[in-house]
Structure 1
Amino acid sequence: MIICSDLDGTILVNKSVDIEIANKIKQYRKKNNYFVIVTGRGKGVFEKAINDYNIDFFDYVILSNGGCICDSNLKEIKYTAFSSIEVINILEKLSLYKDEFRKYIINTKDESIDMKYQYNLSQGNKFVISIAIQFYNENVTKKVFQNLKAMMGTKYNLFINKDCIDILPKNVSKDIAIVHLLNLLKLSENDLCVIGDGKNDISMLKKFKNSFTFSYCDKDVLKSSKYIVESYMDFFNKIEDM
Protein backbone atom coordinates (compact mmCIF):
# COMPACT_ATOMS: atom_id res chain seq x y z
CA MET A 1 0.00 0.00 0.00
CA ILE A 2 1.01 3.61 -0.51
CA ILE A 3 -0.22 6.92 0.91
CA CYS A 4 0.46 10.16 -0.95
CA SER A 5 -0.17 13.04 1.41
CA ASP A 6 -0.07 16.80 1.16
CA LEU A 7 2.07 18.51 3.82
CA ASP A 8 1.02 22.06 4.72
CA GLY A 9 -2.44 22.16 6.27
CA THR A 10 -2.66 18.37 6.16
CA ILE A 11 0.23 17.01 8.25
CA LEU A 12 1.92 20.28 9.13
CA VAL A 13 -0.80 22.29 10.88
CA ASN A 14 -0.31 25.54 12.80
CA LYS A 15 3.47 25.19 12.39
CA SER A 16 3.66 21.79 14.07
CA VAL A 17 3.36 18.08 13.32
CA ASP A 18 1.27 16.12 15.80
CA ILE A 19 3.52 13.48 17.38
CA GLU A 20 0.65 10.97 17.36
CA ILE A 21 0.27 11.38 13.60
CA ALA A 22 4.04 11.13 13.04
CA ASN A 23 4.13 7.88 15.03
CA LYS A 24 1.13 6.50 13.15
CA ILE A 25 2.87 7.15 9.84
CA LYS A 26 6.04 5.43 11.10
CA GLN A 27 4.00 2.39 12.14
CA TYR A 28 2.35 2.31 8.72
CA ARG A 29 5.76 2.32 7.01
CA LYS A 30 7.02 -0.53 9.20
CA LYS A 31 4.34 -2.74 7.65
CA ASN A 32 6.10 -2.54 4.27
CA ASN A 33 3.95 0.35 3.10
CA TYR A 34 5.15 3.53 1.39
CA PHE A 35 4.48 7.05 2.65
CA VAL A 36 4.96 9.88 0.16
CA ILE A 37 4.77 13.60 0.88
CA VAL A 38 3.29 15.58 -2.02
CA THR A 39 3.88 19.29 -1.54
CA GLY A 40 3.97 22.61 -3.30
CA ARG A 41 7.25 23.38 -1.51
CA GLY A 42 10.48 23.42 -3.47
CA LYS A 43 13.51 21.48 -2.29
CA GLY A 44 15.09 24.25 -0.23
CA VAL A 45 11.86 25.15 1.57
CA PHE A 46 11.09 21.47 2.16
CA GLU A 47 14.56 20.87 3.61
CA LYS A 48 13.88 23.68 6.07
CA ALA A 49 10.61 22.00 7.09
CA ILE A 50 12.43 18.69 7.65
CA ASN A 51 14.79 20.40 10.08
CA ASP A 52 12.23 22.68 11.72
CA TYR A 53 9.53 20.06 12.29
CA ASN A 54 11.51 16.79 12.46
CA ILE A 55 9.89 15.31 9.36
CA ASP A 56 11.62 11.92 9.22
CA PHE A 57 8.76 9.67 8.13
CA PHE A 58 8.68 9.60 4.32
CA ASP A 59 9.98 7.24 1.62
CA TYR A 60 9.61 9.67 -1.29
CA VAL A 61 8.67 13.30 -1.72
CA ILE A 62 7.00 14.99 -4.68
CA LEU A 63 8.09 18.64 -4.67
CA SER A 64 6.84 21.81 -6.38
CA ASN A 65 3.35 20.42 -7.05
CA GLY A 66 4.77 17.59 -9.15
CA GLY A 67 7.84 19.26 -10.64
CA CYS A 68 10.37 16.98 -8.96
CA ILE A 69 10.30 13.50 -7.41
CA CYS A 70 12.98 12.63 -4.84
CA ASP A 71 13.80 9.71 -2.59
CA SER A 72 14.09 9.96 1.21
CA ASN A 73 17.60 11.40 0.83
CA LEU A 74 16.23 14.11 -1.50
CA LYS A 75 18.07 12.64 -4.47
CA GLU A 76 16.20 13.47 -7.70
CA ILE A 77 14.44 10.61 -9.44
CA LYS A 78 12.67 12.75 -12.03
CA TYR A 79 12.17 16.45 -12.65
CA THR A 80 10.70 18.69 -15.36
CA ALA A 81 12.30 22.11 -15.91
CA PHE A 82 11.43 25.24 -17.84
CA SER A 83 13.65 26.41 -20.66
CA SER A 84 15.55 29.69 -20.16
CA ILE A 85 13.23 31.40 -22.64
CA GLU A 86 10.18 30.23 -20.70
CA VAL A 87 11.62 31.58 -17.44
CA ILE A 88 12.25 34.98 -19.04
CA ASN A 89 8.75 35.02 -20.52
CA ILE A 90 7.10 34.21 -17.18
CA LEU A 91 9.12 36.76 -15.22
CA GLU A 92 8.29 39.47 -17.74
CA LYS A 93 4.58 38.81 -17.24
CA LEU A 94 4.95 38.66 -13.45
CA SER A 95 6.68 42.05 -13.46
CA LEU A 96 3.28 43.61 -14.16
CA TYR A 97 2.23 42.61 -10.63
CA LYS A 98 5.45 43.10 -8.65
CA ASP A 99 3.88 45.74 -6.42
CA GLU A 100 1.37 43.12 -5.26
CA PHE A 101 3.99 40.53 -4.27
CA ARG A 102 4.79 39.69 -0.69
CA LYS A 103 7.62 37.54 -2.07
CA TYR A 104 8.39 35.13 -4.85
CA ILE A 105 10.58 32.07 -4.98
CA ILE A 106 12.35 30.37 -7.87
CA ASN A 107 12.45 26.62 -7.22
CA THR A 108 15.22 24.79 -9.03
CA LYS A 109 15.86 21.07 -8.79
CA ASP A 110 18.48 21.80 -6.13
CA GLU A 111 17.30 24.80 -4.11
CA SER A 112 14.64 27.40 -3.40
CA ILE A 113 15.78 30.95 -4.12
CA ASP A 114 14.01 33.94 -2.54
CA MET A 115 14.28 36.39 -5.40
CA LYS A 116 13.45 39.70 -3.68
CA TYR A 117 11.71 40.64 -6.97
CA GLN A 118 14.84 40.06 -9.07
CA TYR A 119 16.26 37.07 -10.89
CA ASN A 120 19.77 36.92 -12.30
CA LEU A 121 19.61 35.03 -15.58
CA SER A 122 23.35 35.28 -16.19
CA GLN A 123 23.87 31.82 -14.66
CA GLY A 124 21.32 30.16 -16.92
CA ASN A 125 17.98 28.80 -15.77
CA LYS A 126 19.57 26.41 -13.22
CA PHE A 127 16.87 23.82 -13.95
CA VAL A 128 13.96 25.98 -12.77
CA ILE A 129 11.01 23.66 -12.06
CA SER A 130 8.52 26.12 -10.57
CA ILE A 131 7.95 29.76 -9.72
CA ALA A 132 5.96 30.47 -6.55
CA ILE A 133 4.47 33.87 -5.75
CA GLN A 134 2.90 34.92 -2.45
CA PHE A 135 0.60 37.96 -2.40
CA TYR A 136 -0.56 40.28 0.36
CA ASN A 137 -4.12 38.95 0.45
CA GLU A 138 -6.29 36.25 -1.09
CA ASN A 139 -8.51 38.64 -3.07
CA VAL A 140 -5.51 40.03 -4.93
CA THR A 141 -4.26 36.47 -5.46
CA LYS A 142 -7.54 35.41 -7.10
CA LYS A 143 -7.55 38.46 -9.40
CA VAL A 144 -3.93 38.00 -10.49
CA PHE A 145 -4.49 34.25 -10.96
CA GLN A 146 -7.33 34.87 -13.41
CA ASN A 147 -5.23 37.40 -15.32
CA LEU A 148 -2.24 35.06 -15.51
CA LYS A 149 -4.45 32.15 -16.60
CA ALA A 150 -5.77 34.30 -19.43
CA MET A 151 -2.25 35.33 -20.48
CA MET A 152 -0.40 32.02 -20.24
CA GLY A 153 -2.74 29.28 -19.03
CA THR A 154 -2.38 27.32 -22.28
CA LYS A 155 1.43 27.30 -22.08
CA TYR A 156 1.99 26.48 -18.41
CA ASN A 157 0.23 24.88 -15.46
CA LEU A 158 -0.93 27.38 -12.84
CA PHE A 159 -2.15 26.49 -9.35
CA ILE A 160 -3.69 28.74 -6.71
CA ASN A 161 -3.74 27.97 -2.99
CA LYS A 162 -4.93 30.70 -0.62
CA ASP A 163 -2.51 33.64 -1.08
CA CYS A 164 -0.05 31.77 -3.33
CA ILE A 165 0.22 31.02 -7.05
CA ASP A 166 2.54 28.36 -8.46
CA ILE A 167 3.59 28.28 -12.12
CA LEU A 168 4.91 25.00 -13.55
CA PRO A 169 5.74 23.58 -16.98
CA LYS A 170 2.82 22.24 -18.96
CA ASN A 171 1.76 18.68 -18.05
CA VAL A 172 3.26 18.91 -14.56
CA SER A 173 0.97 18.34 -11.57
CA LYS A 174 0.69 16.27 -8.41
CA ASP A 175 -1.42 13.55 -10.02
CA ILE A 176 0.95 13.10 -12.98
CA ALA A 177 3.93 12.74 -10.64
CA ILE A 178 2.05 10.19 -8.51
CA VAL A 179 1.27 8.08 -11.60
CA HIS A 180 4.99 8.11 -12.48
CA LEU A 181 5.90 6.99 -8.97
CA LEU A 182 3.29 4.22 -8.97
CA ASN A 183 4.75 2.89 -12.21
CA LEU A 184 8.26 3.07 -10.77
CA LEU A 185 7.21 1.08 -7.70
CA LYS A 186 5.09 -1.31 -9.78
CA LEU A 187 1.96 -0.44 -7.81
CA SER A 188 -1.57 0.20 -9.05
CA GLU A 189 -4.17 2.81 -8.20
CA ASN A 190 -5.89 0.16 -6.06
CA ASP A 191 -2.89 0.28 -3.73
CA LEU A 192 -3.08 4.06 -3.34
CA CYS A 193 -4.74 6.54 -0.99
CA VAL A 194 -4.26 10.30 -1.39
CA ILE A 195 -5.12 13.08 1.05
CA GLY A 196 -4.92 16.88 0.84
CA ASP A 197 -6.64 20.05 1.93
CA GLY A 198 -5.90 22.73 -0.69
CA LYS A 199 -6.80 23.73 -4.23
CA ASN A 200 -3.37 22.59 -5.42
CA ASP A 201 -4.44 19.07 -4.30
CA ILE A 202 -7.52 18.99 -6.53
CA SER A 203 -5.76 17.27 -9.45
CA MET A 204 -4.82 14.26 -7.31
CA LEU A 205 -8.12 14.20 -5.42
CA LYS A 206 -10.04 14.03 -8.72
CA LYS A 207 -7.69 11.57 -10.39
CA PHE A 208 -7.62 8.76 -7.82
CA LYS A 209 -10.57 6.82 -6.47
CA ASN A 210 -9.29 6.56 -2.88
CA SER A 211 -9.04 10.30 -2.24
CA PHE A 212 -9.60 12.03 1.09
CA THR A 213 -9.99 15.57 2.34
CA PHE A 214 -11.29 17.28 5.48
CA SER A 215 -14.81 18.45 6.24
CA TYR A 216 -13.65 22.03 6.84
CA CYS A 217 -12.01 22.49 3.41
CA ASP A 218 -13.01 24.78 0.55
CA LYS A 219 -16.09 23.62 -1.37
CA ASP A 220 -14.07 23.02 -4.57
CA VAL A 221 -11.74 20.71 -2.64
CA LEU A 222 -14.65 18.92 -0.97
CA LYS A 223 -16.41 18.14 -4.24
CA SER A 224 -13.15 16.81 -5.74
CA SER A 225 -12.62 14.16 -3.05
CA LYS A 226 -14.26 10.75 -2.78
CA TYR A 227 -14.13 10.61 1.03
CA ILE A 228 -14.46 13.28 3.72
CA VAL A 229 -12.76 12.89 7.11
CA GLU A 230 -12.61 15.00 10.26
CA SER A 231 -8.90 14.62 11.02
CA TYR A 232 -5.73 12.83 9.95
CA MET A 233 -6.30 10.13 12.55
CA ASP A 234 -9.82 9.70 11.19
CA PHE A 235 -8.21 9.21 7.75
CA PHE A 236 -6.02 6.40 9.11
CA ASN A 237 -9.02 4.77 10.76
CA LYS A 238 -10.91 4.89 7.45
CA ILE A 239 -8.15 3.32 5.37
CA GLU A 240 -7.61 0.57 7.94
CA ASP A 241 -11.25 -0.41 7.41
CA MET A 242 -10.99 -0.42 3.60
Structure 2
Amino acid sequence: MIKLFISDLDGTLLGMDHYIKDKDIQAIKKMSKKDIGFVVASGRMDLDIAEVLKKIEVNGHRVSQNGAFVQDFKEKKIYSAAFDTEPAKRIMDFIEKEPMVKTVSTKDHIYTSEHNEWVEIISKQLFQDVIIEPKLTSQFGKKITPAKITLHGKEDDVILAHSRLKKHFGAELDIFISHESCVDIMPKQINKGNGIQSLLQELQIKPEEAACIGDSFNDLPMFAVTPHSYAMSSAHPDVQSKAAYVVDHVYEAIEDLIVKELI
Protein backbone atom coordinates (compact mmCIF):
# COMPACT_ATOMS: atom_id res chain seq x y z
CA MET A 1 0.00 0.00 0.00
CA ILE A 2 1.10 3.56 -0.70
CA LYS A 3 2.06 5.60 2.37
CA LEU A 4 3.67 8.58 0.62
CA PHE A 5 2.82 10.49 -2.58
CA ILE A 6 5.49 12.78 -4.05
CA SER A 7 4.86 15.51 -6.61
CA ASP A 8 7.08 17.83 -8.61
CA LEU A 9 5.87 21.43 -8.99
CA ASP A 10 6.52 23.28 -12.26
CA GLY A 11 4.89 21.56 -15.20
CA THR A 12 3.37 18.94 -12.93
CA LEU A 13 1.32 20.29 -10.02
CA LEU A 14 2.01 23.98 -10.64
CA GLY A 15 1.16 25.85 -13.83
CA MET A 16 1.94 29.38 -14.96
CA ASP A 17 1.08 32.21 -12.56
CA HIS A 18 0.96 29.75 -9.63
CA TYR A 19 -2.12 27.99 -11.03
CA ILE A 20 -3.08 24.62 -9.53
CA LYS A 21 -5.97 22.57 -10.96
CA ASP A 22 -8.87 22.17 -8.55
CA LYS A 23 -9.10 18.44 -9.38
CA ASP A 24 -5.46 18.03 -8.31
CA ILE A 25 -6.10 19.88 -5.05
CA GLN A 26 -9.17 17.82 -4.22
CA ALA A 27 -7.39 14.53 -5.03
CA ILE A 28 -4.47 15.45 -2.76
CA LYS A 29 -6.82 16.45 0.07
CA LYS A 30 -8.79 13.22 -0.30
CA MET A 31 -5.59 11.22 -0.21
CA SER A 32 -4.31 13.11 2.85
CA LYS A 33 -7.51 12.26 4.75
CA LYS A 34 -6.52 8.61 4.35
CA ASP A 35 -3.29 9.34 6.28
CA ILE A 36 -1.13 9.14 3.18
CA GLY A 37 1.77 11.56 3.45
CA PHE A 38 2.24 14.22 0.77
CA VAL A 39 5.62 15.48 -0.43
CA VAL A 40 6.55 18.27 -2.80
CA ALA A 41 9.95 17.65 -4.45
CA SER A 42 11.07 20.57 -6.57
CA GLY A 43 14.02 22.52 -7.89
CA ARG A 44 12.40 25.53 -6.24
CA MET A 45 13.32 26.94 -2.85
CA ASP A 46 11.72 25.75 0.36
CA LEU A 47 9.76 29.01 0.69
CA ASP A 48 8.06 28.39 -2.68
CA ILE A 49 7.07 24.87 -1.65
CA ALA A 50 5.68 26.10 1.67
CA GLU A 51 3.54 28.67 -0.18
CA VAL A 52 2.17 26.01 -2.54
CA LEU A 53 1.24 23.79 0.42
CA LYS A 54 -0.66 26.74 1.91
CA LYS A 55 -2.59 27.11 -1.35
CA ILE A 56 -3.49 23.42 -1.32
CA GLU A 57 -4.28 23.58 2.42
CA VAL A 58 -2.51 20.34 3.33
CA ASN A 59 0.49 19.56 5.48
CA GLY A 60 3.40 18.23 3.47
CA HIS A 61 7.04 17.28 3.59
CA ARG A 62 9.40 19.40 1.47
CA VAL A 63 12.31 18.39 -0.75
CA SER A 64 13.63 21.63 -2.18
CA GLN A 65 16.32 22.66 -4.66
CA ASN A 66 16.54 19.21 -6.21
CA GLY A 67 17.23 17.52 -2.89
CA ALA A 68 19.62 20.04 -1.32
CA PHE A 69 17.19 20.61 1.56
CA VAL A 70 14.73 18.15 3.10
CA GLN A 71 12.25 18.99 5.87
CA ASP A 72 9.25 17.14 7.22
CA PHE A 73 5.85 18.77 7.73
CA LYS A 74 6.74 19.49 11.38
CA GLU A 75 9.70 21.63 10.19
CA LYS A 76 12.28 19.05 11.26
CA LYS A 77 15.42 19.44 9.13
CA ILE A 78 16.34 16.04 7.73
CA TYR A 79 19.06 16.97 5.23
CA SER A 80 20.88 20.01 3.89
CA ALA A 81 23.78 20.55 1.51
CA ALA A 82 25.52 23.38 -0.36
CA PHE A 83 28.51 24.10 -2.56
CA ASP A 84 31.94 24.69 -1.11
CA THR A 85 33.06 28.22 -1.97
CA GLU A 86 35.89 27.51 -4.43
CA PRO A 87 34.02 25.00 -6.64
CA ALA A 88 31.08 27.42 -6.81
CA LYS A 89 33.41 30.21 -7.95
CA ARG A 90 34.93 27.94 -10.62
CA ILE A 91 31.48 27.21 -11.98
CA MET A 92 30.60 30.90 -12.11
CA ASP A 93 33.86 31.62 -13.98
CA PHE A 94 33.10 28.84 -16.46
CA ILE A 95 29.55 30.00 -17.23
CA GLU A 96 30.38 33.73 -17.30
CA LYS A 97 30.28 33.94 -21.11
CA GLU A 98 27.11 31.87 -21.52
CA PRO A 99 24.42 34.08 -23.17
CA MET A 100 22.01 33.39 -20.32
CA VAL A 101 20.91 34.78 -16.96
CA LYS A 102 22.77 33.24 -14.02
CA THR A 103 21.07 32.89 -10.65
CA VAL A 104 22.39 31.52 -7.38
CA SER A 105 20.05 30.03 -4.82
CA THR A 106 20.70 29.72 -1.11
CA LYS A 107 18.23 27.96 1.18
CA ASP A 108 15.97 31.02 1.42
CA HIS A 109 16.91 33.47 -1.34
CA ILE A 110 17.79 33.69 -5.02
CA TYR A 111 20.41 36.11 -6.33
CA THR A 112 21.67 37.44 -9.64
CA SER A 113 24.31 40.05 -10.50
CA GLU A 114 22.27 42.45 -12.63
CA HIS A 115 18.69 43.30 -13.51
CA ASN A 116 17.21 42.51 -16.94
CA GLU A 117 13.95 41.35 -18.53
CA TRP A 118 14.68 37.69 -17.70
CA VAL A 119 14.92 38.56 -14.00
CA GLU A 120 11.41 40.01 -14.15
CA ILE A 121 10.10 36.85 -15.85
CA ILE A 122 11.78 34.62 -13.25
CA SER A 123 10.49 36.73 -10.35
CA LYS A 124 6.90 36.47 -11.56
CA GLN A 125 7.05 32.67 -11.29
CA LEU A 126 8.57 32.73 -7.80
CA PHE A 127 6.98 33.59 -4.47
CA GLN A 128 9.69 36.17 -3.77
CA ASP A 129 11.80 38.65 -5.75
CA VAL A 130 15.22 37.85 -7.14
CA ILE A 131 17.84 39.84 -5.22
CA ILE A 132 20.30 41.88 -7.29
CA GLU A 133 23.86 41.55 -5.94
CA PRO A 134 26.44 43.14 -8.31
CA LYS A 135 29.36 41.53 -6.44
CA LEU A 136 27.67 38.15 -6.38
CA THR A 137 30.62 35.77 -6.62
CA SER A 138 32.73 37.72 -4.12
CA GLN A 139 29.97 37.17 -1.54
CA PHE A 140 30.28 33.35 -1.75
CA GLY A 141 31.33 32.02 1.64
CA LYS A 142 30.33 35.30 3.28
CA LYS A 143 26.67 36.30 3.13
CA ILE A 144 25.87 33.88 0.29
CA THR A 145 26.18 30.09 0.57
CA PRO A 146 25.26 28.68 -2.86
CA ALA A 147 23.08 25.58 -2.89
CA LYS A 148 22.15 25.71 -6.58
CA ILE A 149 23.43 27.61 -9.61
CA THR A 150 21.03 28.02 -12.54
CA LEU A 151 21.28 29.22 -16.13
CA HIS A 152 18.07 30.67 -17.59
CA GLY A 153 17.45 31.31 -21.27
CA LYS A 154 16.14 30.10 -24.61
CA GLU A 155 15.73 26.35 -25.15
CA ASP A 156 18.55 26.09 -27.71
CA ASP A 157 20.94 27.87 -25.35
CA VAL A 158 19.82 25.60 -22.50
CA ILE A 159 20.64 22.46 -24.50
CA LEU A 160 24.07 23.76 -25.55
CA ALA A 161 24.95 24.95 -22.04
CA HIS A 162 23.89 21.61 -20.55
CA SER A 163 26.15 19.77 -23.01
CA ARG A 164 29.15 22.00 -22.27
CA LEU A 165 28.67 21.74 -18.52
CA LYS A 166 28.27 17.94 -18.62
CA LYS A 167 31.46 17.64 -20.67
CA HIS A 168 33.49 19.85 -18.34
CA PHE A 169 31.97 19.11 -14.90
CA GLY A 170 30.09 15.83 -15.39
CA ALA A 171 32.37 13.88 -13.07
CA GLU A 172 32.04 16.31 -10.17
CA LEU A 173 28.56 17.86 -10.46
CA ASP A 174 24.94 16.88 -11.01
CA ILE A 175 23.60 18.92 -13.93
CA PHE A 176 19.93 18.84 -14.97
CA ILE A 177 17.68 20.44 -17.54
CA SER A 178 14.93 21.11 -15.01
CA HIS A 179 12.78 23.06 -17.48
CA GLU A 180 13.08 23.95 -21.16
CA SER A 181 14.29 27.39 -20.05
CA CYS A 182 16.85 26.45 -17.38
CA VAL A 183 19.80 24.28 -16.41
CA ASP A 184 20.35 23.50 -12.71
CA ILE A 185 23.88 22.88 -11.44
CA MET A 186 24.19 21.00 -8.14
CA PRO A 187 26.92 19.41 -6.00
CA LYS A 188 27.45 15.74 -6.87
CA GLN A 189 24.87 13.31 -5.47
CA ILE A 190 22.47 16.15 -4.63
CA ASN A 191 19.29 15.22 -6.47
CA LYS A 192 15.62 14.52 -5.82
CA GLY A 193 16.23 10.78 -5.59
CA ASN A 194 18.73 11.03 -2.76
CA GLY A 195 16.65 13.70 -1.02
CA ILE A 196 13.61 11.43 -1.10
CA GLN A 197 15.69 8.47 0.08
CA SER A 198 16.67 10.46 3.18
CA LEU A 199 13.00 11.30 3.80
CA LEU A 200 11.89 7.68 3.38
CA GLN A 201 14.54 6.59 5.86
CA GLU A 202 13.42 9.21 8.37
CA LEU A 203 9.76 8.19 8.00
CA GLN A 204 10.60 4.48 7.92
CA ILE A 205 8.78 4.02 4.63
CA LYS A 206 9.90 1.52 1.99
CA PRO A 207 10.45 2.69 -1.63
CA GLU A 208 7.60 0.46 -2.84
CA GLU A 209 5.30 2.27 -0.38
CA ALA A 210 5.87 5.59 -2.19
CA ALA A 211 4.61 6.95 -5.50
CA CYS A 212 5.88 9.97 -7.41
CA ILE A 213 5.07 12.18 -10.40
CA GLY A 214 7.16 14.63 -12.40
CA ASP A 215 7.86 16.03 -15.84
CA SER A 216 11.54 16.94 -16.20
CA PHE A 217 15.01 15.44 -16.34
CA ASN A 218 15.65 16.43 -12.73
CA ASP A 219 12.81 14.03 -11.82
CA LEU A 220 14.63 10.96 -13.20
CA PRO A 221 16.52 10.23 -9.93
CA MET A 222 13.12 10.39 -8.20
CA PHE A 223 11.59 7.93 -10.68
CA ALA A 224 14.41 5.50 -9.90
CA VAL A 225 13.49 5.38 -6.20
CA THR A 226 10.07 3.73 -6.51
CA PRO A 227 8.33 1.35 -8.94
CA HIS A 228 5.24 3.61 -8.74
CA SER A 229 6.52 6.48 -10.89
CA TYR A 230 4.39 8.67 -13.15
CA ALA A 231 5.49 11.09 -15.86
CA MET A 232 3.33 13.86 -17.23
CA SER A 233 2.26 13.38 -20.85
CA SER A 234 3.72 16.84 -21.57
CA ALA A 235 7.19 15.63 -20.56
CA HIS A 236 10.02 14.97 -22.99
CA PRO A 237 9.81 11.41 -24.42
CA ASP A 238 13.11 10.54 -22.74
CA VAL A 239 11.59 11.50 -19.38
CA GLN A 240 8.40 9.53 -20.07
CA SER A 241 10.44 6.44 -20.95
CA LYS A 242 11.97 6.35 -17.47
CA ALA A 243 8.63 6.37 -15.64
CA ALA A 244 6.43 3.35 -15.05
CA TYR A 245 3.29 5.20 -16.21
CA VAL A 246 2.30 8.35 -18.11
CA VAL A 247 -0.69 10.54 -17.18
CA ASP A 248 -2.08 13.94 -18.13
CA HIS A 249 -2.66 15.25 -14.60
CA VAL A 250 -1.62 14.67 -10.99
CA TYR A 251 -5.13 13.61 -10.00
CA GLU A 252 -5.04 10.88 -12.66
CA ALA A 253 -1.98 9.34 -10.99
CA ILE A 254 -3.81 9.31 -7.66
CA GLU A 255 -6.92 7.80 -9.30
CA ASP A 256 -4.75 5.11 -10.90
CA LEU A 257 -3.35 4.15 -7.49
CA ILE A 258 -6.90 3.96 -6.12
CA VAL A 259 -8.02 1.70 -9.00
CA LYS A 260 -5.03 -0.55 -8.31
CA GLU A 261 -6.12 -0.63 -4.66
CA LEU A 262 -2.78 0.81 -3.55
CA ILE A 263 -4.59 3.70 -1.87
- TM-score, normalising length from structure 2? 0.82
Look up the match of 1:21.
24
Q: For residues 46-87 of structure 1, what are the alpha-carbon distances to aligned partners after superposition, in whole Å with 9 as ceiling and x for unaligned?
A: 45x539x82433421111111111233666431111111111
Look up the match of 1:10.
12
CA spacing shift, 1:123–1:195, aligned 2, 3 Å: closer
Deviation (angstroms), 1:88: 0.9
Q: Secondary structure in 2 aligned to 1:12?
A: coil
Spell out the pairing of 1:128-147 with structure 2 (5 A cutoff). Answer: 128-135=146-153, 137-147=154-164
Q: Tell me if structure 2 keeps the 8 A contact 1:156–1:170.
A: yes
Deviation (angstroms), 1:154: 0.8
- Distance, in Å, in 2 between the alignment partners of 1:122 and 1:238 is 48
- Distance, in Å, in 2 between the alignment partners of 1:33 and 1:14 is 27
- Distance, in Å, in 1 between the alignment partners of 2:16 and 2:141 is 37
Runs of 4+ in 1 over 6 A off after TM superposition: none
- Name stretches of at least 5 consecutive residues in structure 1 with no aligned partner: none
- Distance, in Å, in 2 between the alignment partners of 1:140 and 1:123 is 26
- TM-score, normalising length from structure 1? 0.89
CA spacing shift, 1:196–1:122, aligned 2, 3 Å: closer
Q: Considering only aligned residues, what root-mean-square deviation do their CA atoms show, in Å?
A: 2.1
Q: Give the residue type in structure 1 aligned to 2:23.
A: E
Deviation (angstroms), 1:138: 0.4
Q: Tell me if structure 1 keeps the 8 A contact 2:111–2:136.
A: no
Look up the match of 1:178.
196
Q: Tell me if structure 1 keeps the 8 A contact 2:197–2:225.
A: no
Q: Give the residue type in structure 1 aligned to 2:215.
A: D
Q: Tell me if structure 1 keeps the 8 A contact 2:40–2:49.
A: no
Deviation (angstroms), 1:127: 3.2
* Aligned equivalent of 1:42, options 37, 40, 45: 45
Q: For residues 149-185 of structure 1, what are the alpha-carbon distances to aligned partners after superposition, in whole Å with 9 as ceiling and x for unaligned?
A: 1111111110013110001110111111111100000
- Distance, in Å, in 1 between the alignment partners of 2:217 and 2:253 is 19
Q: Tell me if structure 2 keeps the 8 A contact 1:109–1:129.
A: yes
- Distance, in Å, in 1 between the alignment partners of 2:16 and 2:46 is 21
CA spacing shift, 1:115–1:71, aligned 2, 3 Å: farther
- Distance, in Å, in 2 between the alignment partners of 1:28 and 1:118 is 47
Q: How many aligned positions are there?
A: 236
- Name stretches of at least 5 consecutive residues in structure 2 with no aligned partner: 115-133
Q: Secondary structure in 2 aligned to 1:17?
A: coil
Q: Give the residue type in structure 1 aligned to 2:68.
A: G
Which has more strand, going by share of residues? 1
2:171 corresponds to 1:154: yes
Q: Tell me if structure 2 keeps the 8 A contact 1:197–1:214.
A: yes
Deviation (angstroms), 1:118: 5.0
- Distance, in Å, in 2 between the alignment partners of 1:204 and 1:194 is 7
Q: Give the residue type in structure 2 aligned to 1:106.
A: V
- Distance, in Å, in 1 between the alignment partners of 2:16 and 2:249 is 14
Deviation (angstroms), 1:191: 0.8
CA spacing shift, 1:236–1:46, aligned 2, 3 Å: closer
Look up the match of 1:30.
33
Q: Give the residue type in structure 2 aligned to 1:84.
A: T
* Aligned equivalent of 2:224, options 178, 192, 206: 206
- The 10-residue stretch of structure 1 (104-113 or 86-95) with the greater mean CA deviation from structure 2: 104-113
